[in-house]
């Protein structure tokens, strides 16, 4: 048995992975006799995407250049991906609720885009899921390959009666790859299929890929190819890898027996697969141990906190591996972006009857507009800036929160798709946010927005951008525009000078895998357009990046802002957080002209103290401020806003914000 380490997308898209597999198979067929291999009994096999490569390899070896080689004896396709065109087969809709954690339509769309060498941003994934990546004429022409299977109506036209708006450039590139039988073996011509070797196809009941495997079995049978197929009852996408335990173990054992009976295996081969399963189980257990993060026993919303810690640990592990392979460290944020696009569910724009959601472009800046359908006109509005350390994230990552705020506050939420560092460092992200805000204030009548009731808001790095926009809008070029009515800063990052504030010392050990001083230092460096290799990040995290003269010059902003009490201890007692002269570099001389502010911070967040310092500075400048500390909260506590349990710390914080905004837009 030979396991092949083929090149991976997106760095090496189609046909590179397939080329590697074909080259390896041809090499074995050509030279196997010299190694004691019976080349008349060589087969190919693979699981999931590997099943796709196995089927495509069997087709590719039919080419004339390989005709002099011995023919393959068999192919084993385990839960294979066999087409990239139809995303509305029944197995997708039936299995998504059960299989989302293993492979969802979101994930498959991301995988196939990456394999095709195309953009894998959330907006492109959304277009694929909405059917905007394939022309209707192409679907009609290829429908013969899925005949007999009822395809669920899910395209824009089928649901609304309106013509689907196909992205022609995306469709050109996508169809060029996935109409090729070597990328979508299901679409191979019958003359080709007649020549492929005998096949074993294994599929699982609760796997979104189930139906394309069934369709391929039917096509092979129609072409006269000997096929043995096995459906694992109650199985999921990776049931074959965990066959030694659980309710599906017997079905998995039968599936393995089917494979080995067809492929001529014996006890040795079965023992080999048992060993592989054992090794896999041990690896999973070890990974689970590595991803587990001890958190403060009283932390609010521990599930969200642990999930974020686990994701960041996993990304850190991948990052260190890539450094070991001399990969470009700047790709880390694009990997994080890809993970986010796979894990987050994509919500259709028109999924909520209470909102009209549209994607717009304001003076060259992409935005998503959430308008309550029953809100009075002109309507108050908030410019919303997503988080992600200025380096990743998108309007999609905080889509649910934007929808919730728009409906419950009855105001227009305009979420800005600003450019991201390190490709676009400061001031590019801020410029985009200012441009979008200026457009809304200038064209408010056309947008049916009340210019006297427009505010800014953001989470984490988005909170920094909201605060910076409020400062920037005081500059002379914007003096003729209506003034902002309010600003809402949610767990904001507000300075990059001092990484030894008490909140860093207190929380870096406790919740550092969610957001640590090293991670914040990395984001700040990337936003500044500077190198962020591990050695440079470490220097910044140790406060070795600012001269003593600069620190002294900026300390005037904190002359009266010394931290003395910052958190509420787990037993309800006040706990001293120590003293610090950390500098808030977002303040300016015009701070007294800033709009009324709401600032939300969390007890177990490394950014807590800079938010407290900003609250103090605003108060000293005479700016009305509502501040809320989420007791036992973490950096993303506000994402618990949709939880109707009002004892939830995130929900309490959100209700504070909601009450503040309602007061601001009603008191005009």
Q: Which of 20, 432, 518, 605 is catalytic?
A: 605
CA 127 – CA 348 distance, rounded (Å): 10
Enter the tokens of residue 152. 């669920």
Q: Are 563 and 610 contacting, i.e. CB atoms less than 8 angstroms apart?
A: no
Q: Which of 48, 460, 597, 627 is catalytic?
A: 460
Q: Indicate if 635 belongs to the active site.
A: yes
> DSSP string spanning 370-404?
EEETTS-SSEEEEEEE--STTTS--GGGGHHHHHH
CA 92 – CA 248 distance, rounded (Å): 21
Instruction: Give helix 267-291 / helix 302-324 axis angle, nearest 10°.
Output: 110
CA 60 – CA 54 distance, rounded (Å): 10
Residues 6+ apart with CB under 8 A from 513: 293, 308, 309, 310, 312, 313
CA 29 – CA 44 distance, rounded (Å): 11
Q: Are 40 and 70 contacting, i.e. CB atoms less than 8 angstroms apart?
A: yes
Q: Are 346 and 122 contacting, i.e. CB atoms less than 8 angstroms apart?
A: yes
Angle at 266 between CA 260 and CA 272, to 5 degrees: 85
Helix (H) or strand (E) holding 576: strand 574-576
CA 12 – CA 19 distance, rounded (Å): 11
CA 146 – CA 356 distance, rounded (Å): 35
CA 518 – CA 316 distance, rounded (Å): 11
What does the buried/exposed string (b/e) look like for 619-650 if buried means 16 or more CB atoms within 10 Å of the residue's CB?
eeeebebbbbbbbbbbbbbbbbbeeeeeebbb
Q: Indicate if 634 belongs to the active site.
A: no
- Residue 451 three-state SS: strand
Q: Which residue has the tokens 């139809």?
A: 86
Residue 258, Cβ density class (10 Å: 0-12 exposed, 13-18 middle, ≥19 buried)? middle
Q: Indicate if 236 belongs to the active site.
A: no
Catalytic residues: 460, 605, 635
């Amino acid at each position: 048995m030979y396991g092949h380490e083929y090149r991976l997308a997106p760095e090496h898209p189609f046909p590179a992975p397939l080329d590697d597999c074909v080259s390896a198979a041809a090499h074995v067929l050509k030279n196997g006799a010299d190694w004691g291999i019976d080349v008349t009994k060589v087969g190919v096999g693979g699981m999931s995407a590997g099943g796709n490569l196995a089927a495509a390899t069997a087709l590719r070896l039919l080419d004339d250049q390989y005709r002099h080689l011995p023919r393959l004896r068999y192919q084993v396709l385990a839960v294979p991906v066999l087409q990239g065109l139809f995303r509305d087969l029944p197995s997708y809709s039936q299995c998504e609720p059960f299989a989302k954690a293993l492979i969802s339509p979101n994930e498959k769309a991301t995988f196939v885009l990456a394999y095709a060498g195309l953009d894998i941003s959330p907006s492109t994934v959304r277009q694929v899921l909405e059917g905007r990546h394939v022309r209707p004429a192409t679907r009609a022409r290829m429908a013969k390959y899925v005949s007999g299977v009822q395809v669920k109506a899910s395209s824009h036209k089928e649901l609304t009666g309106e013509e689907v708006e196909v992205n022609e450039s995306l469709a050109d590139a996508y169809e060029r790859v996935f109409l090729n039988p070597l990328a979508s073996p299901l679409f191979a011509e019958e003359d080709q299929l007649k020549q492929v070797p005998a096949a074993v196809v294994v599929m699982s009941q609760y796997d979104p890929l189930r139906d394309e495997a069934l369709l391929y079995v039917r096509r092979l049978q129609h072409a006269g190819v000997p096929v043995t197929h096995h459906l694992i009852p109650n199985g999921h996408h990776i049931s074959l890898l965990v066959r030694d335990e659980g309710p599906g173990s017997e079905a998995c054992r039968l599936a393995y027996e089917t494979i080995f009976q067809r492929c001529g295996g014996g006890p040795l081969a079965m023992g080999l697969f048992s060993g592989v399963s054992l090794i896999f189980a041990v690896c999973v257990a070890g990974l689970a141990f590595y991803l587990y993060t001890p958190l403060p026993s009283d932390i609010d919303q521990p599930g969200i906190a642990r999930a974020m810690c686990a994701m960041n640990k996993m990304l850190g592990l991948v990052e260190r591996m890539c450094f070991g392979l001399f990969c470009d460290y700047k790709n880390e944020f694009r990997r994080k972006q890809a993970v986010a696009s796979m894990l987050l569910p994509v919500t259709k724009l028109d999924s909520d009857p209470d909102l009209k959601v549209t994607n717009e472009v304001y003076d060259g800046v992409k935005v998503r507009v959430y308008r309550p359908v029953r809100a009075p006109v002109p309507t108050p509005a908030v410019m919303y800036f997503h988080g992600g350390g200025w380096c990743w994230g998108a309007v999609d990552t905080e889509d649910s929160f934007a929808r919730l705020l728009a409906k419950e506050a009855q105001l227009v939420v305009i979420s800005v798709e600003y450019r991201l560092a390190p490709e676009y460092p400061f001031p590019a992200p801020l410029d985009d946010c200012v441009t979008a805000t200026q457009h809304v204030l200038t064209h408010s009548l056309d947008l049916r927005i009340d210019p006297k009731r427009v505010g800014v808001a953001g989470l984490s790095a988005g909170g920094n951008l909201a605060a910076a926009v409020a400062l920037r809008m005081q500059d002379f070029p914007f003096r003729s525009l209506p003034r902002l009515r309010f600003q809402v800063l949610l767990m904001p990052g507000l300075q990059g000078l001092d990484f030894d504030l008490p909140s860093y010392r207190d929380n870096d050990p406790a919740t550092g895998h969610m957001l640590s001083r090293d991670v914040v230092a990395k984001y700040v460096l990337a936003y500044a357009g500077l190198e962020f290799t591990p050695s440079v990040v470490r220097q910044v995290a140790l406060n070795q990046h600012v001269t003593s003269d600069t620190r002294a010059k900026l300390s005037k902003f904190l002359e009266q802002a010394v931290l003395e009490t910052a958190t509420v201890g787990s037993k309800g007692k006040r706990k001293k957080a120590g003293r610090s002269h950390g500098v808030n570099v977002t303040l300016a001389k015009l701070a007294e002209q800033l709009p009324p502010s709401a600032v939300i911070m969390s007890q177990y967040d490394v950014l807590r103290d800079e938010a407290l310092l900003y609250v103090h500075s605003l108060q000293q400048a005479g700016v009305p401020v509502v501040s809320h500390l989420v007791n036992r909260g973490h950096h993303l506590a506000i994402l618990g806003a949709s939880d109707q349990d009002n004892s939830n710390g995130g929900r309490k914080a959100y209700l504070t914000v909601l009450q503040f905004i309602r007061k601001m837009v009603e008191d005009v």
